[in-house]
Amino acid sequence: MSQHNEKNPHQHQSPLHDSSEAKPGMDSLAPEDGSHRPATEPTPPGAQPTAPGSLKAPDTRNEKLNSLEDVRKGSENYALTTNQGVRIADDQNSLRAGNRGPTLLEDFILREKITHFDHERIPERIVHARGSAAHGYFQPYKSLSDITKADFLSDPNKITPVFVRFSTVQGGAGSADTVRDIRGFATKFYTEEGIFDLVGNNTPIFFIQDAHKFPDFVHAVKPEPHWAIPQGQSAHDTFWDYVSLQPETLHNVMWAMSDRGIPRSYRTMEGFGIHTFRLINAEGKATFVRFHWKPLAGKASLVWDEAQKLTGRDPDFHRRELWEAIEAGDFPEYELGFQLIPEEDEFKFDFDLLDPTKLIPEELVPVQRVGKMVLNRNPDNFFAETNRRLSILGILSPVWISPTIRCCRGVCSLIPIHKSVVLADPISMRFRLTARPALTIISSVTACIVWGSTLTRRITNRTRSTITGRAKHRRGRNVAVLNHTRNAWKAIKFASAVHRLANIIPIRVCSG
């Protein structure tokens, strides 16, 4: 048997890091003996146990994860209920006045179901609408208390839950994964000091350096307004017209047109915080930093012909690959890297460190790998956890980190306006910003999660098959029609009242 056949196809080599790597001027934060380096191969599949459906996370429990578990319930042993927790006997037949009579307005189950159906969708993101996500954890290699007083970076034994959302930028929620585009890489750290959102892309720079240009840039990138073409790509006149008028965009355009624009997988894609931030330690000393995510599986990209074929044959290629890898136990792993510059050295460079359209060369300031992130669980409900997840650049702990650049501050100043638009619909606010639950609700409208409800695992958008077993607590609601004579009389009285009201108040009827 050849050496190739003897090798486990589910395992892959990770890039090795030798001692020839340049050391930064502030001394390396990693152990000198290299004990923090990954093994020759990343975590082998199945090393961290995962039950079918990824409902059992590896043994990385902590107080934060335990508190999140309180709102994570299964739907197996619950009866179907209304939003108020009232058990439903039948959600397939309307309440009618007799076997052939009209539908009664007092059928509150029907009204609730239709109301949910009309409001279950939320406004789509203007950019980064197409996304995939996963849960995981982050653990630092050693204490970084000399440069920051962030609690989750000060203890190598502390495990911090994270949630990562990958995305494309230009296309809508139904566009293909393998188009040439910038990818989003947004990480949400659930620290004991609050939520820290590290919002980034798969390129180390951005197209513009002034937030005033952002709306115009997005309008240029999105499909042309007169015919809504092209979708999910930027090869059209308005984009190139904008690029020709804004020379600062050319740097990121070159990255987008390179192999970085069509990554092979989210597991082989780098992430960058783009902006320059300041880390603040307990003494109040500040250090400039740029964040990096380095995939332990290495970097890989598709060739253009492969990307075009996959767009037609499997538009969900990246989403499917990420999901199936986690289900198989081959967890994506990334190292968090810092480019650190002392605050007093800000003006020693011949370019502006605070300009997001310029990268800081790693030859001048090497990346120090300070911790590892592992994504080990898929979402329980894709719509509830991925589509409604809102990562905001302005969510930063005021104690230990702060943005420094004008573009970042400009975007942060637009956050209230952005939230007022994205969350203008009260239903949208319920999805994107959910309150702590007070009642377990198994809604018949399973595409959405009710405000204040628990996060239900493995719910479906269809009634259970009679082959695998009938749902409990089902009985016909038209038996005796629930005293239909009395109910019909109430409906007649209600219709009469509506008719009298219509004669008093003029009502404009709009035809479709």
What pairing do the DSSP bridges indicate for beta strands 286-295 and 271-272? Answer: antiparallel
Report the alpha-carbon distance of residue 249 to residue 216 in Å, rounded.
13
Identified catalytic residue from 36, 116, 135, 201: 201
Cis peptide before 426 (omega within 30 of 0): no
Identified catalytic residue from 128, 275, 318, 484: 128
Do 80 and 473 form a contact (C-beta atoms < 8 A)?
A: yes
Instruction: Indicate the Cα dihedral angle 323, 327, 328, 330, nearest 10°.
Output: 60
Which 8-state DSSP code applies to residue 266?
Answer: G
Token pair 């005021």 in the structure block, residue: 398
Do 470 and 464 form a contact (C-beta atoms < 8 A)?
A: yes
Query: At 209, which amino acid appears?
Result: Q
Q: Give the tokens for residue 293.
A: 């995510």
Report the alpha-carbon distance of residue 275 to residue 209 in Å, rounded.
10
Q: Assign 106 to helix, strand or coil.
A: coil
Report the alpha-carbon distance of residue 457 to residue 52 in Å, rounded.
13
CB contact burial 40-75 (16+ within 10 A = b; e otherwise): eebbeeeebebeeebeebbeeeeebbeeeeeeebeb
* DSSP string covering 83-98: TT-PBPS-SSS--BSS
Backbone angles phi, psi at 135, to 5 degrees: -95, 160
Helices (H), 246-316: 250-256, 304-313
Task: Please report how many Cα atoms fall inside a 13 Å half-sphere around the Cα of residue 333, on the Cβ side.
Answer: 23
In sequence order, the β-bridge partners of residue 339 are: 290
318 flagged as catalytic: no
Report the alpha-carbon distance of residue 331 to residue 47 in Å, rounded.
10
Report the alpha-carbon distance of residue 259 to residue 301 in Å, rounded.
6
128 flagged as catalytic: yes
Compute CA distances 357 → 88, 152, 254, 354, 386, whole Å.
57, 30, 12, 9, 29
Q: Give the tokens for residue 355.
A: 């300009």
In sequence order, the β-bridge partners of residue 103 are: 96
Report the alpha-carbon distance of residue 456 to residue 71 in Å, rounded.
8
Q: What is the largest CA-CA distance in the chain?
A: 89
- The closest alpha carbon to 255, from 193, 183, 200, belongs to 183
In 3-state terms the chain splits into helix, strand, coil percentages (rounded to 5) of: 30, 15, 55
Do 393 and 197 form a contact (C-beta atoms < 8 A)?
A: yes
Which residues have a catalytic role annotated?
Answer: 128, 201
